[in-house]
Amino acid sequence: MGKSIALFGTSADPPTIGHKKILEELSKIYAFTISYVSNNPKKST
C-alpha cells in the first residue's frame, strides 16, 4: 500500500485543544497529516 495522507481543514477561530487532539490522532494513523485554515465569512465568532 502507498503512503496515506490525511487532510484536515478548518475555519477554527480560535484553534482549540480539541483541534490539536484531532491532529495528534490523525498523525498516528496517516503517514502525512496536512492541516489548513480558511476563512468562513458566514461564521460569526
Residue-wise pLDDT for 8-26, tens only, equals 998 887 889 999 999 999 9
Q: How far apart are the first and last CA of the chain?
A: 42
Q: Give domain status of residue 21, yes or no.
A: yes
The parent domain of residue 22 ranges over 5-37
Reduce the DSSP state of residue 5 to 3 states and report it: strand
**pTM score:** 0.73
- Which segments within 1-45 are labelled E, that is strand? 5-10, 32-37
pLDDT of residue 1: 52
Number of domains the chain contains: 1
* DSSP designation for 13: S
d(CA 21, CA 18): 5
Q: Note whether residue 25 is domain-resident.
A: yes
Q: How far apart are CA 11 and CA 42, in angstroms?
A: 11
Residue 7 pLDDT: 94
